[in-house]
Chain A
Amino acid sequence: MLSRRRTATALCLAAALVLSGCAVGGGAAADGTVTLHMVESLTNPTRTAVLKDLIGEFEKQNPKIKVDLISPPTDQADQKIQQMLQSGSGIDTLEVRDITSGPWSTNHWLYDMSKDLKGWAGWDELTDNTVKYAKDAKGRTYYIPYGFYGLSLFYRSDLVTGAGFKNPPASWDDLLEQATAIQNPGKRQYGYAFRGGTNANSNAVAVIEAYVADKIDRDNGFKLTDGRTIFSAPEALTALKTYFALFKKASPPSSVAWGYPEMVEGFSNGSTAFLLQDPEVIATLGESKAISQQQWTTAPLLTGPSGKAVQPVATAGWGIAAGSKHKAEATKLVKFLAEGDAATTFDKKNSLVPILKSAADDTYYKTGAWASYVKMTENPDAYITVTQPRDSSWWTEWIQKSDADIQKVLLGKMTPEQLLTGWDSYWTAKWKSQ
Chain B
Amino acid sequence: MKEPVAFPSARPEGEPGGTPTPTTCSTDAAVGARPDVGPDAGTGLRAGAGGRGSTAASTSAPTAPRPRRPVFTGRQGLTVAAFMAPAALFVAVFIYYPMIAGSQMAFRNWNLNDLTDTSWVGLKNFREIFTDPVFGTVLSNTGIWVVGSIVPQFVIGFAIALWLRRRFRFRGLYQALIFFPWAISGFLIGILFRWMFNSEFGVVNDLLEKAGLINEPIPWLADPKTAMVAVLIANIWYGVTFFAIMILAALQSIPDEIYEAAEIDGAGKVRTLFQITIPSIRGTLSLTVLLRVIWIFNFPDLIFAMTGGGPSNETHIVTTWMITVTQQGDYGRASAIGLIVVAMLLVFSVFHLTATREKSATGGRPTTGGKRATGRNPRTRKTKGTVS
B116: chain A residues within 8 A (beta carbon): 106-107
CB 8 Å contact bits of B208-226 with A (1 = contact, 0 = none): 0000000001011111100
B112: chain A residues within 8 A (beta carbon): 82, 103, 107
Interface centre among B112, B115, B201 (most CB of A within 10 A): B112
Instruction: Tell me, yes or no, whether B33 is within 8 Å of chain A by CB.
Output: no
| Given A107-B115, A107-B116, A256-B219, A393 contacting B329 (CB threshold 8 A) | yes
Instruction: Tell me, yes or no, whether B227 is within 8 Å of chain A by CB.
Output: yes
B330: chain A residues within 8 A (beta carbon): 397
Which single member of A197, A254, A393, A400 contacts B114 (CB below 8 Å)? Answer: A393
Instruction: Tell me, yes or no, whether A277 is within 8 Å of chain B by CB.
Output: no
Of the stretches B234-242, B253-261, B308-316, B348-356, the one at the interface is B308-316
Instruction: Tell me, yes or no, whether B272 is within 8 Å of chain A by CB.
Output: no
> How far apart are the CA atoms of A252 and B216 in the complex, in Å?
12
Which single member of A188, A256, A394, A411 contacts B113 (CB below 8 Å)? Answer: A394
| Given A254-B222, A393-B113, A196 contacting B201 (CB threshold 8 A) | no
Of the stretches A263-271, A278-286, A306-314, A422-430, the one at the interface is A263-271
CB 8 Å contact bits of B180-201 with A (1 = contact, 0 = none): 0000000000000000001111
Contact A254 B311 (CB under 8 A): no
Minimum C-beta distance from A183 to chain B (A): 13
Contact A254 B328 (CB under 8 A): no
B307: chain A residues within 8 A (beta carbon): 257
A305: chain B residues within 8 A (beta carbon): none
> How far apart are the CA atoms of A266 and B311 in the complex, in Å?
19
A397 (CB) vs chain B CBs: closest residue: B328
B308: chain A residues within 8 A (beta carbon): 197-198, 259
Contact B313 A404 (CB under 8 A): yes
Contact A400 B111 (CB under 8 A): no
| Given A253-B199, A265-B201, A196 contacting B329 (CB threshold 8 A) | no
CB 8 Å contact bits of A238-274 with B (1 = contact, 0 = none): 0000000000000011111101001001100101000
Interface residues of B in 324-369 (CB under 8 A from A): 324, 326-330
> How far apart are the CA atoms of A266 and B313 in the complex, in Å?
24
CB 8 Å contact bits of A71-90 with B (1 = contact, 0 = none): 00000000100100000000
Minimum C-beta distance from A41 to chain B (A): 14
Interface centre among B199, B220, B222 (most CB of A within 10 A): B222
Contact B311 A400 (CB under 8 A): no
B219: chain A residues within 8 A (beta carbon): 253-254, 256-257
| Given A257-B311, A404-B313, A196 contacting B222 (CB threshold 8 A) | yes
Interface size of A by CB at 8 A reads 36
Instruction: Tell me, yes or no, whether A291 is within 8 Å of chain B by CB.
Output: no
Minimum C-beta distance from B271 to chain A (A): 48
B198: chain A residues within 8 A (beta carbon): 254, 262
Minimum C-beta distance from B133 to chain A (A): 11
Which single member of A266, A396, A408, A413 contacts B200 (CB below 8 Å)? Answer: A266
| Given A196-B222, A393-B113, A393-B114, A269 contacting B313 (CB threshold 8 A) | no
B222: chain A residues within 8 A (beta carbon): 196, 253-257
B326 (CB) vs chain A CBs: closest residue: A79
> How far apart are the CA atoms of A198 and B219 in the complex, in Å?
17
Contact A196 B311 (CB under 8 A): yes
CB 8 Å contact bits of A305-332 with B (1 = contact, 0 = none): 0000000000000000000000000000
> How far apart are the CA atoms of A404 and B113 in the complex, in Å?
22
Which single member of B115, B223, B227, B328 contacts A400 (CB below 8 Å)? Answer: B328
A396: chain B residues within 8 A (beta carbon): 327-329
A40: chain B residues within 8 A (beta carbon): none
Instruction: Tell me, yes or no, whether A201 is within 8 Å of chain B by CB.
Output: no
B227 (CB) vs chain A CBs: closest residue: A257
CB 8 Å contact bits of B113-155 with A (1 = contact, 0 = none): 1111000000000000000000000000000000000000000
Instruction: Tell me, yes or no, whether A209 is within 8 Å of chain B by CB.
Output: no
Contact A107 B114 (CB under 8 A): yes
Interface residues of A in 154-192 (CB under 8 A from B): 188, 190
A403 (CB) vs chain B CBs: closest residue: B310
Instruction: Tell me, yes or no, whether A410 is within 8 Å of chain B by CB.
Output: yes
> How far apart are the CA atoms of A48 and B275 in the complex, in Å?
61
B199: chain A residues within 8 A (beta carbon): 252-254
Q: 4 other contacts beyond A256-B219, A397-B328, with CB at 8 A cut-off?
A: A107-B116, A190-B200, A253-B219, A393-B111
Q: What 6 A-B pairs come out closest when comparing CB atoms?
A: A254-B199, A393-B113, A256-B222, A407-B312, A103-B113, A254-B219
What are 10 inter-chain pairs, A to B, with CB distance below 8 A?
A: A198-B308, A253-B199, A254-B199, A254-B200, A265-B201, A266-B201, A393-B329, A396-B329, A408-B312, A413-B312
